Chains A and B, each alone.
Chain A
Amino acid sequence: MRIYVHTEEKLDPDLVEARAESAVGAAVELQEGEHVLPEDGEEPLDSNATLEEVGVKDRAHVFRGRRHRILVTVEFNNQAHSREFAAAARVERVFRWAAGEHAFDLDPQDAAEHTLALPDESIPPEDVHIGSLPEPEEGRLRFLLVPKHRFEG
């Protein structure tokens, strides 16, 4: 089987060949102080259990790193909303929360016209794990909700 291992400060995952009966920690080359989270999952996996035992299937995505919980703040129209996400949360999940009723409550048309940007105005891919994004301050991330670009000129 193969699994995708997302790590800190590297946007693209590494593709790792592993056996279902391999220990989680060995399969992802876990280092001291790091943990492994399933994609969009909240709690670290038992690094001594096998991939099969913890439900990591072929072509699954996991996050490996020291980060666990990240306080995310999204800014839009001079307002800000914050909440914690696990480091293995995808950017797409943060966007759905930010556009949804617990944050800016955009109507579907408005939501379709916006995307998340980092403070340097780069647009992170939807499937990047937020733990892979550079943190300007430990344990915190800041996004801007911005209109999507239309290429013209």
Chain B
Amino acid sequence: MSSPAPQGTDHSHALFIADLAAGAYAAGADRGWWHTGPVTWPFAVIELALPPRPGSDDWLALRFQLEGYPEAPTAQPWDAAAGGPLALARWPGGNARITMAFNPGWRQDALYIPMDREALAGHPDWRTKYACHVWDASKDISQYLRLVRSLLNDEGYTGARGG
């Protein structure tokens, strides 16, 4: 007799772990775009490679809160070494696309992008306005990472925003 399929949290956790090993996420990791940090369900730290800028970090860690995955997660900039929220001076800076997405004046525990559960909850119009960038529960975590990567791998990224 086979075991019943995991439900709820177990199902979300198992699906997330399976997605980390699948082609979409693994390809990004093998291209050097991101790598997986500690996973303590429902949290997971994933670090994204940053383009080089003087005095700035090489990686940006995001701590994801993945409850309900594959429904939309939320993520916050994270200090992987200290195990806590990233100091605001080390948040990514640059053009308006970047400072609006990384917007501590709005929230420090989420990103202001249509992939993020918290941002999307407050902006139902984004589902049509930014339809191509809205989280799609039929896809995996790499869609969120790709959007953040596309924001930061841009001429408009100037490095850590500083003091």
- A residues contacting B by CB (< 8 A) are 4, 12-15, 59, 61, 108-109, 112, 115, 117, 121-123, 125-127, 148-153
Contact = CB atoms under 8 A, between A and B. Distances in A.
B100 A12 contact: no
A115 B97 CA distance: 14
Contacts of B137: none
B15 interface: no
Given A12-B23, A112-B156, A153-B125, A123 B133 contact: yes
Contact of B155 (A109, A127, A152): A109
Interface residues of B, number: 29
Contact of A152 (B27, B100, B150): B100
A121 B31 CA distance: 26
B127 interface: no
Contacts of B24: 12-13
Q: Which 7 A-B pairs have the closest CB atoms?
A: A112-B155, A12-B24, A15-B23, A59-B30, A13-B23, A122-B132, A150-B97
24 contacts: A4-B26, A4-B30, A12-B24, A12-B27, A13-B24, A15-B21, A61-B27, A109-B155, A117-B132, A121-B131, A121-B132, A122-B132, A126-B150, A127-B27, A148-B97, A149-B97, A149-B130, A151-B101, A151-B114, A151-B119, A151-B130, A151-B133, A153-B125, A153-B129
A107 to B, nearest CB: 11
Nearest to B26: A15
Interface of B: 21-24, 26-27, 30-31, 96-97, 100-101, 112-114, 119, 123, 125-126, 129-133, 146, 150, 154-156
Given A122-B132, A151-B126, A14 B23 contact: yes
Nearest to A12: B24
Contacts of A117: 132
Given A13-B27, A14-B23, A121-B131, A151 B156 contact: no
B154 A112 contact: yes
A15 B114 CA distance: 28
B155 A108 contact: yes
Contacts of B21: 15
A44 B31 CA distance: 23
Given A13-B23, A109-B155, A123-B133, A151 B112 contact: yes
A151 B125 CA distance: 11
B156 A125 contact: no
Contacts of A59: 30
Nearest to B22: A15
Contacts of B126: 151, 153
B31 A127 contact: yes
A151 B130 CA distance: 8
A121 B150 CA distance: 17
